[in-house]
Amino acid sequence: MSAGPLTSSPHGHQGHSVRQLMLHVLLACVPGTAALVFFFGHGVLFNLVSLVLFALLFEALVLWIRQRPVLPALHDLSAIVTAVLLALALPPTAPWWLCIIAIFFAVVIGKHLYGGLGYNPFNPAMVGYAAVLVAFPVQMTRWLLPQGATTALPGLGEAITIFADGELLQGIDAFTGATALDSFREQQGAQLVSEFLQASPLMGQWSGLGWEWINVGFLFGGLYLLYKRIISWHIPAAVLLALAVFALLFHDSGSSASHGSPLMHLFGGATMIGAFFIATDPVTAATTKHGKLLYGALIGLLIYVIRAFGSYPDGVAFAVLLGNIAAPLIDTFTRPRTVGHAK
Amino acid sequence: MTPDLLLTATLVLLALALVCGSVIAIASMRRPTGNIPLVDRINHLLPQTQCGQCGHPGCKPYAVSIAAGGAINKCPPGGKTTIAALAGLLGVDTLPLDASHGVEGIRKVAYIREPECIGCTKCIQACPVDAILGSAKHMHTVIMSECTGCDLCVAPCPVDCIDMIPAQTPLQRWHWWQPHNQVLIATDRLPRVRV
Amino acid sequence: MNEILVLLVGATLVNYFVLTQLGRLAMLPRLSGKPEIAIGITTGLALTLSSACAYLLYHYLLVPRDLVLLRTPAYMLLIVTAVVLVCAVMQQYAPQQYHLATAFQPLVFINCAVLSATLINDNRADTLADAVFSGLVIAAGFSLMLLLFSAMQERVTVADVPKPFRGAAIALITAGLMSLALMGVASLVPS
Amino acid sequence: MSSASSPVYDFPGGIYPPENKSKSLRGPIRTTALPPQLWVAVTQPGFAMPLLCVQAGEHVDKGQLLARGSDSAGLLVHAPAAGLISSITEHAIPNASNLPELCVVIDTDAADSNWHKLLPLDWRDAAPDLLVERIAAAGICGLGGGGFPTHQKLHAALQQVDTVILNAAECEPFITADEALLREHAADVVTGCLILLQITGANQCLIGIEDNKPAAIAALRQHCTDGRLRVVIIPARYPSGAERQLIQTLTGKEIPSGSLPVHSGILCHNAGTARAIARAVVYGEQLLSRITTLTGAALLEPGNVEVLIGTPVDFLLQQAGVDQQQLSRLFCGGPLMGIELPHAQLPVTKTTNCIIATTQRELPRPPPMQACIRCGLCADVCPVQLLPQQLYWFARSSELEKAEAYHLHDCIECGACAYVCPSHIPLVQYYRSAKADIRDAHARQQRADHAKQRFEVHQQRVALEHAQESRRRTERAALAQPALPAAGNNTSAQDVVAAALARIQAKKAAQASAPTVGKDEPA
C-alpha cells in the first residue's frame, strides 16, 4: 500500500485536464490559421511566434515575481492559447513592439493582475487587442490586401522588414489597405450591397475576399470543439443567431443604405473565431445554460451594432469585452432551478 | 455687473439657500423609525453564554459597549466566527481574538460529579440560564442541552465537583475540512496526463 | 424618438467616466447587504428630482432675471437638498436601503454632482419632461453600471489578486478595463 | 408485473463512468471461512452512547445481543458468531473521519453451532407494529450505505406512504453486491418487498434496476408474481441509485428540498435491506452477515462474498488473494462515494457494500488541483442542477450565506462534479466542509437564541425574587418599627425611603415580568 493523505470521495476521475482542453483549442485553430496564412502571408506567422514567446516570457516573469510555481502554469498552455488568439486578431503588418505591448496587456494586466488563470474577469486576448487598438489606431487598422486582391503578398524579406518596423519599408502602401468590412462601411450609401460585392476587389462571393475562407476554417475548428465537447453549443449558436437576425432585420434587401447581408456578417471579419474561440472562453463567459444564451446573444447584437454604427474595423473584441462585463450579472439572474425547489 | 444685478443675484441666492435650508431642516428633523436598534443587532450575533469573559456582566452589556465603539474581539466563546459577523455588521476590519480574555476552544458543558455534590445550591444561583437542577441538600445535576458552558458555576462550588467537559465527542465533532491549496514548489512538474 | 434613443444609449453606456467613481466603492468597508442597489436608487431619485428643479429654476428664474451666472451654485444647492430629501423619504419607506445608503452618503453626493455636471453641460433638455427623462436615464445607466461593477467585484474579491493590487487598486483597474470596453460603443453616439 | 407499463422519467445531469462490474460477477456468492477474530462496531445513529449488554471475558452465542441504543431509536447489535469477548475497546472502523469507534472484539469458537434466532413470524397475518418491532429486534439498518436504522424509517412511514421503492439500481462502478444478491436470492428480496407493503399499507412497490443487469432482472421477473410489484428498468447512469434521483426516475416526483420522501408518500429501501427484512421476519434471523463485493485489480479472485459483520478487511483480502506488491489504495464503497481506508486492519460493518483493492493504475491519486476555469462541466453533470463552480467559490471564501442561498444543502455529494472537473478540484470536500460550517453556524445561532431567552427569563425571575424579598423585608421592618420607636430618626427615615424605593421597584418588576413569569414559573 502506498502511503499518502486520505482524500475525500470521489476517487475516480474522467481524466480530462485543463491542458487537454487547451490542446484541443489550439488544434482547432489550425484550419483557420492556415487560411489566414494563405491569404495574408508571413506576417501572421511572425505574430504567432513572437506573441507565443512573449506570452510565455511574461507569464513566467510574473509567476517568478510572485514566487509561484512557474512550470505547472506554463504547462497548462493557457498563455499560449491567449497568445494564439491575439495573434490571429492582430493585423499581419503589426510591428514587433505592437505585439509586445498587446501581449503585455493581455497576459500581465488582463490575466495576472487578477491572479492568473481562472480569475480574470476579462478575456485577456481581447484586453490586449482593445488596448492596442485604442492606443495605435493607425497600425491596427492597416491590414494587408489579401491574396487575390493584390499582385503579390510581401515576400519573406519584406515581411521581416514590416515586422521590424512597418514604416521602414518603401512602398508598404502597395500591400496594405483597409479590411473588407471597413471598406464596406466607408462606401456605405454609395452602392447597393450586390454592386459593392462585385465591384470591390476586396470582396469575394458573400463577404470579404479571403475572409470567407478564414471564417470557414474557424467554423470547422469550432465544430471540432463542439464535437469534442470542449465547448457547449449555447454561446456560438446565440452569437451567430443574434448576429444573423440583426443583420437580416437591417438588411434592407441590399439597398445602398444596408448594413450588409447576414452572410456577409457571419463570414466576414472575426465572426467565427469570435463566436467559437473567444466568446466561449469559459473563465470570462456566463456559466449557466440560459446565461450562456443571453451572453451569446448580447455579444452577437453588440458585434452587429458596433460594425454597423460604430467606427472601429470590427466589433468582436469590444463586444466580447462588454459581454464579459455583463457575464457576472447575467449569471446571478439565470440560476437554474435546483431540483426540489420551486422556481 | 451692475450693483442692481448684484443685489438681485444675492437675494435670489439667499432666498434659494433659505428654501433649501428649510427643506433640509424639515427632512432631518424626522427621527429614524423602523430600524432595529444597533445594540440588539449586535446582541443577536453574540453567543449568549453570559460568561462575562469579555469583562462585561453578560452579552447585552458587551453589545452596548460595542455599539459605543468598543473592541469587537473580546468574546472567546464566539471566537473568530463572531468577530467576523460583528465586523460585517459594523463595517470594520476583523481582528484576532484578544487573548487576554481567553482563547477559543471547543464547546464545553458543565458536569457535576454527583456523588461529591453536597447540595449547597451555590451553582444554581450562579447559572445564568437556569440549567442546573436540584434543591438544598440534594445533589444537583446539569441539564446538558441548556448549559451554555459559561464556566460561572465552577468557581462557587465549595467542593469542586463541577467539571467542564466537551459537549460533543470527537466523532460528533468531526467533519471534513477545506482542502489545502496544494502549492507546488517551483521545480515541480504536473504529472503527465494522457491525452 | 430618435433623440430619446440616442440619449438612452448615450447615457447608459457612454458616461463611462463615472466609472472612476466606482473605485471609491471598493475603498469603503464592505457592509452586509447590497449597497449598490441602495446607492442606485438614491442617486436615481435625487438626480431626477434635482434635474427637474434645475430645469424650472433655470428657465423660470435664472434666465428671465438674467442670472445664468448663478447656475452652478444654485444647482449645487439643489443637489444637496434633493439628496437629503430623498434620503428622508427612503428612511420612511425603505429603512433597510436607507441604512445602506447613509453609509455611502458622501458617495451619493459626489455621484449626483458629477452626473448633473454632465446634464448641465449637455443642456439638451428643452422641456421639463426632457429634463426629468434625462435625469432618470442617466441615473438608470449609472445604476446599471453599479450593478455590473459590483457583480464583477464579487468575482474579483475571491480572486488570487497579487497583494499590492488588492482592494481599491484592482477595482480601479477593473473600472479602467470596463471603460476600455465601453469605448467600443462610445463611437455610436454622435457627439 | 410488466415493466412496459411503467414510465421512466429523467433526472438532470449524471455521468457515465466505466462500470468495472464484470470482474466480481464471474462466480457465485462465496462464503468466507470463519475469521479468528471479529471486531463488531456498536456505533449508534448520531454517534450516541451505546448501552453495552455484555462484558469483556464473557462468552457469547451467535445472535446474542451485544449492545443497543439508549432509546428505541437505537440500533441493536448482535454477535455474528459464537465466541469469547476478549475486549471491548475503541478500534478503527471504515469511516470518513478515521476516528476509532467502540467495538466488541470476539475471539470466535471454531465450533460455531447454535444460532439464537428469533421466532419465525407469519408476516401475512402480522400487524405492522409487530413487524416493525421484529425488524428493530433483528438490528437491521439501511445496507445501501446510509446505515440509518430501518425500524426508524418504517415508524415514520406507517400509514403514510402509497409507494414503496426498492433500490436495486446500484449505479456506482465496481459494486455488484446487490446484483449478485438479486441473481441468487431474488425470492428473499421479493418477500422483503411484500413485507414492506404489508407494513406500510402501500399499494405498489416499484423495483428500480439499471438496464446493465440482465441476469438480475430476469431473476426478479421470475419471482415477481404479485401484481403490486413492478420491475422498472432504468437506463444506467450515475447517480440513478441515489434515493431522490431514483424516486425522480421512477415516479417523476421531486422530493421538495428539506423534506423526506416519506412526506411525499414514498418509502425507499435498498435490495439488501429487503432481504435482511425477509430473513428476520420469515426465519427470525438477526442481521449478522451481509453480501460485500471484493474487487479491484490488486485481487486475484474478485467476487461477492457473504461476510460476517466484524470480519477484518485484511482477512477478506487474503481470502480473495491480494497481491500486496500491486496494492496501492483501499476503498470501502464505490469509487465515487466511498471512503478511502488507511489500512486493512478494519472490520466490515453493516454498511460495507464493497471493498476495492486498487493498483496505482486503476484509481490513481488525484493530481494537484489547479485553478477553476469556470468551464461549467460540473453544472452540466449535477443531478440536482446546482452551480457547483459558484458553490466552490463561496465555499472557498467561506461565504456561507451565499452558499446557502445557492442551495448547498441540496447537494447529495454524489461526486459527479469532481469526477469531470478538468482542474481536479476536490469539490465535494469543499462542499462537505462548508455544509458542516453552515450546520455549526445554525446550531450556534439556535443555541444563542435559546440561551438568550432563558437568560432573560432568568433575569426576570431573579428581579421578581429580589422584589418579593425586599417587600417582605419592608413588611417585617414595618411590623418591627413600633417596637423600636426611639432607635433614632436617621435610621427610620432611611428605612422609609428604602421601603418606598423597594415598593416602586417591586411594582415595576411585577408589571414587567408578571405575564411571562406567571407562565414559566408555576411556583
What confidence tens digit (pLDDT) does each residue in D130-160 have?
A: 999 999 999 999 998 778 999 999 988 888 8
Q: How far is CA D252 from the centre of its chain?
A: 25
pLDDT value at residue D496: 63
Instruction: Give D297-337 pLDDT, tens digit per residue.
Output: 999 999 999 999 999 999 999 999 999 998 999 999 999 99
CA distance C90 to D507: 41
pLDDT value at residue B183: 42
CA distance B81 to C52: 48
pLDDT value at residue D450: 92
pLDDT value at residue C34: 61
Q: Which of D432, D65, B2, D154 is nearest to C65 (CA)?
A: B2
Residue type, D269: H
- pLDDT over 60 (residue C6): no
Q: Which of A78, C154, A10 is nearest to D390 (CA)?
A: C154
Q: How far is CA A72 from the centre of its chain?
A: 25
pLDDT value at residue D523: 35
Instruction: Provide, as residue numbers in chain A, all residues whose Cβ is less than 8 Å from the Cβ of C178.
Output: 325
CA atoms D197, D200, D201, D206: torsion sign: negative
Percent of chain D with pLDDT strictly greater than 70:
91
Query: For residue B192, what are the contacts with CB-CB under 8 A and spacing of at least 6?
Result: none
- Chain D, window 259-318: residues with a beta carbon less than 8 angstroms from a chain A beta carbon: none
pLDDT (mean) for D210-226: 92
Instruction: Give A242-293 pLDDT, tens digit per residue.
Output: 999 998 888 777 776 677 788 888 888 889 999 999 999 999 999 999 999 9
The nearest CA of chain A is from the CA of C145 a distance in Å of: 9
CA distance A246 to A241: 9
- pLDDT over 90 (residue C13): no
Whole-number mean pLDDT of chain C? 70
Segments making up each domain of chain B, as ranges: 38-101, 108-168
pLDDT value at residue C8: 55
Chains in contact with C, where contact means 3 or more Cβ–Cβ distances below 8 Å, are A, B, D
Its ipTM equals: 0.84
What pLDDT band is residue D245 in, cutting at 50, 70 and 90?
A: very high
pLDDT (mean) for B152-168: 90
B43 touches D445 (CB < 8 A)? no
At residue D173's C-alpha, the angle toward residues D167 and D179, to 5°, is 45
CA distance D195 to D277: 8
pLDDT value at residue D112: 63
Tell me whether residue C109 is exposed, middle or buried, using C-beta atoms within 10 angstroms of its C-beta: 0 to 12, 13 to 18, 19 or more.
middle
D337 touches D415 (CB < 8 A)? yes
Instruction: Provide, as residue numbers in chain C, all residues whose Cβ is less than 8 Å from the Cβ of B16.
Output: 57, 74, 77
Query: For residue A89, what are the contacts with CB-CB under 8 A and spacing of at least 6?
Result: A125, A126, A129, A270, A273, A316, A317
pLDDT value at residue D516: 43
Which residue of C45, C71, C75, C81 is the best one to mutate when testing the B interface, meaning the one whose CB has the most B CBs within 10 A?
A: C81
Backbone dihedral region of B30: left (phi > 0), alpha (psi from -120 to 50 degrees) or beta? beta
CA distance D44 to D350: 12
| H or E element, residue D37 | strand D37-41
Q: Which of B85, B39, B80 is nearest to B60 (CA)?
A: B39
CA distance D214 to C187: 67
| pLDDT higher at A298 or A172 | A298
Residue type, D159: Q
Residue D326, CA distances (Å) to A214, A293, B194, D21, D298 in order? 53, 49, 21, 20, 6
Tell me whether residue D111 is exposed, middle or buried, using C-beta atoms within 10 angstroms of its C-beta: 0 to 12, 13 to 18, 19 or more.
exposed
Look at the block and give the residue holding cell 440588539: B40
The nearest CA of chain D is from the CA of A280 a distance in Å of: 9
What pLDDT band is residue C96 in, cutting at 50, 70 and 90?
A: low
Instruction: Provide, as residue numbers in chain B, all residues whose Cβ is less than 8 Å from the Cβ of D452.
Output: 43, 48, 59
pLDDT (mean) for D58-74: 90
Q: Which of A251, A154, A145, A143 is nearest to A206 (CA)?
A: A251
Which residue of C185, C188, C191 is the best one to mutate when testing the A interface, meaning the one whose CB has the most A CBs within 10 A?
A: C185
pLDDT (mean) for D22-51: 91
Q: Which of D149, D60, D47 is nearest to D100 (CA)?
A: D47
The pTM score is 0.86
What pLDDT band is residue A143 in, cutting at 50, 70 and 90?
A: confident
| Sheet of D327-332, strands arranged across | D30-31, D303-308, D289-295, D354-359, D327-332, D339-341
Domain B108-168 is found in CATH 3.30.70.20: yes
CA distance D67 to D56: 13
Domain B38-101 is found in CATH 1.10.4010.10: no
Q: Are strands B132-133 and D51-52 parallel, antiparallel or unpaired?
A: unpaired
Instruction: Provide, as residue numbers in chain D, all residues whose Cβ is less than 8 Å from the Cβ of C160.
Output: 371
CA distance D156 to A160: 81
- pLDDT over 60 (residue D71): yes
* A174-183, B151-160, D326-335, D427-436: range with lowest mean pLDDT: A174-183
CA distance A294 to A297: 5
The nearest CA of chain B is from the CA of A55 a distance in Å of: 19
Q: Which of C102, C114, C106 is nearest to C20 (CA)?
A: C114
Segments making up each domain of chain D, as ranges: 26-295, 303-359, 377-440
CA distance A41 to A151: 13
Q: Which CATH architecture has domain D26-295?
A: 3-Layer(aba) Sandwich (3.40)
